[in-house]
């Protein structure tokens, strides 16, 4: 599970790639901060997510 540190309290927030790619928000379980990942702010996360999704797609042989 990929994760990011909460910008407010540094709690590790786990997320799944689908949530990221859907552009949905994450809620910090510790301080309830809403974190929105955007491509420009989190290019590395998005690239990694895309890489994993591409690999999954290859393995599943979906076209
Ligand atoms: Zn937090």
* Per-residue confidence in pLDDT tens, the chain, 63 aa: 788 888 899 999 888 777 777 778 888 999 999 887 765 666 777 777 778 778 877 776 655
| Burial grade of 49 (CB within 10 A; 0-12, 13-18, 19 or more) | buried
| Burial grade of 53 (CB within 10 A; 0-12, 13-18, 19 or more) | middle
Query: What's the 33 CA to ligand 1 centre distance in angstroms?
Result: 5
What is the 8-class DSSP label of residue 15?
Answer: -
pLDDT at 11: 93
Q: Number of structural domains, the chain?
A: 1
pLDDT at 31: 96
Query: What's the 27 CA to ligand 1 centre distance in angstroms?
Result: 8
How many whole angstroms separate alpha carbon 43 and alpha carbon 54? 16
pTM for this predicted structure? 0.52
Instruction: Domain of residue 18: give its range.
Output: 3-60
């Amino acid at each position: 599970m990929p994760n990011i540190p909460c910008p407010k309290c540094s709690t590790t927030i786990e997320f799944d790639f689908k949530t990221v790619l859907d552009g949905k928000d994450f809620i910090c379980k510790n301080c309830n901060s809403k974190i929105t990942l955007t491509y420009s702010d989190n290019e590395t996360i998005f690239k990694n997510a895309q890489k994993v999704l591409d690999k999954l797609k290859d393995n599943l042989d979906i076209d």
